[in-house]
Each structure stands twice: as structure tokens, then as C-alpha cells.
């Protein structure tokens, strides 16, 4: 028994000595300042220009670039399946950064977002009508009694502006045609390709992307009319984002045209460049919407 007790004691002594050596090899670290906090995550929410997968392919390079440029924060891309989902997100003030259409820009201002840039040239922001090559549609009056597809009733370039165009051409868009709101730009185009609508309303960037991604289908379609231009989509930042971060984002966007990498990022988004802009730049949209709602329909149902 004494031998056994002695052996156990020796083993315990050896273990304690080993622990002491390990502690000596890894001394405690003391600091007068707390550990560095994890960088806050800011979400960049882009309105449904494309389906979520296509939108991610187009805009993730921009997010990666911003994360290389920004200090102290991390940006994550957020897609939405449709316009109502996107609009609820910013009305709830969830994303820190937005890329909304001009009508959504006005709505986001009401809940504390502010414009820091415009995405793309104003001349590129216009509605276009796509029809099949075998269509008998020649003039707007030929759409009477037929279906026209759009992404959403709140899509400015791809619904509001095309409907105002038809209104000016003598079409009562509430009675003369059937308006089909199908959720996305690509869905609008696919509806006319599949013969579910006589014409598809969209705008230039999604149409260019559709031609690249679906050349066989696009070859059976063509653009027949386009509306006048207005002002392009904005970039907005929530009012509680620090000014330093806001300025870093703005600077990074405006400088994209200065490098080959930046130009590649812009090309992936079908965007020529970012321009400086502020809330006042979108006053023209307020006037346009007032005229549209007076003459055509309410943008949103009350």
C-alpha cells in the first residue's frame, strides 16, 4: 500500500510540474485597452433588378471591392425576391445602404435614408417595350385588349414610365389593356417570349443582360418603343451610418472608372459609372410621380 501511495504521489507531482511548465510557456497577456471589437456588418440592399442569383453575380464584385476599400466595417449584399419585399426592408430601416429605383428613393427619404450617388447615366434610365419578332404589334393602339407584362407596379422605368408613355399615346392603361405584374425584370421579358404577354416593359440594363445570358431567346425578340429618360437609380445611406463610412462608400463608388478593375465591376452591373448626387437631385421624380398619379393611377393602392 505504501509503495502504491508513493507511486501515485510521484505521478501527481509530475503532472503538476508539466502544468507549471505549460503555464510558463503561455503567460497571461495584460492590456490597458479592451480587445478589438468585431467590425459592424452593413447590408447593401439592391432593388430587384434581376432574380437573386443574377443580382448576386452582378453586384458581389462591387461588395468585394467596397470591403477592400472600407475601414472598420464589413458590407454584405442583400437581394430580394420581389419589389414589395424590398420595399418593406427599407421601410423597416433594416439595410444600412440601398440601391433603389428613383420612386423608392423618395419613399426611403421618408424613413431616414439620404442619397450619396446616382448609379449609371440618366440617359440610360428609360422604359422600353419588347415584343416577339413574329408579333403583329406595330403601334401602341394595337395593344388594346392584350396583356402587357411588368416587374411591379412600383417599378419606375419598367412600369410607371411605360404606362405613362401608353397614356400619352391614347391608351387607357386601366381599361384598354391587361397589366400583368410578374415580379422581376427577367420574368417580364420571359412572359413576352413565352407568348403570355403581347409586350414586355423593362429598361435597358436588364434587357442587355438578357441578351447576353439568353441569346437564343433574345434573338426572337426586339425592342419596339422607348420612353424619354428621367434620372437613374440612387445609392442611399441610412442616417445613423457614421459620416466617415458614408464618405468612404461615396468616394469608392465615384472612383470606380479610374482603374481597369473598377471598370470591370461596373460592366458586371451594366452600369457606366456612379455620379455625385443628393436628395435634391430627385426632385424631378416627385414632379413626375405627381403628374402620373393625377393622370394615370396611384403608384400604390391605398
Residue 20 confidence (pLDDT) above 50: no
User: Looking at domain 41-121+231-295, which of 3.40.47.10, 3.40.50.1100, 3.40.190.10, 1.20.1440.230 is its CATH number?
Assistant: 3.40.190.10
In the 8-state DSSP scheme, what is residue 281? G
User: Looking at domain 128-226, which of 3.40.190.10, 3.30.70.100, 3.30.360.10, 3.30.565.10 is its CATH number?
Assistant: 3.40.190.10
**Looking up cell 472608372, which residue turns up?**
257
Q: What would the pLDDT profile of 225-250 be if each residue is shown by its tens digit?
A: 999 999 999 999 999 999 999 999 99
pTM, 2 dp: 0.83
Q: Which three cell numbers stand for residue 176?
A: 384598354
Residue 298 confidence (pLDDT) above 50: yes
Distance CA 226, CA 223 (A): 8
What sign for the dihedral angle of Cα 270, 80, 179, 234? negative
Residue 46 · residue 81 · CB < 8 Å: no
Q: Which residues contact 130 (CB under 8 A, 6 or more apart)?
A: 189, 192, 199, 200, 201, 202, 207, 221, 222, 223, 224
Q: Give residue 254's Cα distance to chain centre.
A: 17
Residue 30 confidence (pLDDT) above 80: no
In the 8-state DSSP scheme, what is residue 172? -
Amino acid at each position: 500500500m505504501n509503495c502504491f501511495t508513493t507511486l501515485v504521489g510521484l505521478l501527481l507531482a509530475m503532472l503538476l510540474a508539466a502544468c507549471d511548465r505549460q503555464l510558463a510557456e503561455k503567460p497571461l497577456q495584460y492590456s490597458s485597452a479592451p480587445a478589438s471589437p468585431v467590425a459592424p456588418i452593413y447590408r447593401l440592399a439592391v432593388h430587384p433588378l434581376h432574380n437573386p442569383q443574377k443580382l448576386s453575380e452582378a453586384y458581389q464584385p462591387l461588395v468585394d471591392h467596397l470591403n477592400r476599400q472600407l475601414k472598420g466595417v464589413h458590407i454584405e449584399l442583400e437581394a430580394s425576391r420581389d419589389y414589395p419585399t424590398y420595399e418593406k426592408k427599407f421601410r423597416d430601416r433594416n439595410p444600412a445602404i440601398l440601391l433603389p429605383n428613383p420612386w423608392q428613393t423618395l419613399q426611403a427619404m421618408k424613413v431616414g435614408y439620404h442619397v450619396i450617388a446616382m448609379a449609371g447615366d440618366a440617359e440610360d434610365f428609360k422604359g422600353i417595350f419588347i415584343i416577339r419578332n413574329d408579333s403583329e404589334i406595330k403601334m401602341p393602339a394595337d395593344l388594346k385588349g392584350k396583356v402587357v407584362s411588368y416587374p411591379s407596379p412600383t417599378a419606375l422605368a419598367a412600369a410607371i414610365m411605360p404606362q405613362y408613355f401608353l397614356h400619352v399615346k391614347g391608351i387607357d392603361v386601366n381599361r384598354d389593356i391587361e397589366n400583368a405584374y410578374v415580379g422581376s425584370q427577367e420574368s417580364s421579358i420571359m412572359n413576352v417570349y413565352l407568348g403570355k404577354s403581347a409586350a414586355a416593359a423593362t429598361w435597358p440594363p436588364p434587357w442587355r443582360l438578357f441578351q447576353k445570358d439568353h441569346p437564343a431567346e433574345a434573338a426572337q425578340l426586339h425592342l419596339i418603343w422607348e420612353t424619354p429618360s428621367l434620372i437613374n437609380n440612387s445609392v442611399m445611406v441610412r442616417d445613423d451610418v457614421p459620416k466617415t463610412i458614408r464618405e468612404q462608400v461615396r468616394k469608392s463608388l465615384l472612383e470606380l472608372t479610374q482603374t481597369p478593375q473598377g471598370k470591370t465591376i461596373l460592366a458586371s452591373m451594366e452600369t457606366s459609372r456612379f455620379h455625385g448626387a443628393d436628395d435634391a437631385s430627385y426632385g424631378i421624380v416627385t414632379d413626375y410621380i405627381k403628374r402620373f398619379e393625377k393622370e394615370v393611377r396611384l403608384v400604390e393602392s391605398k
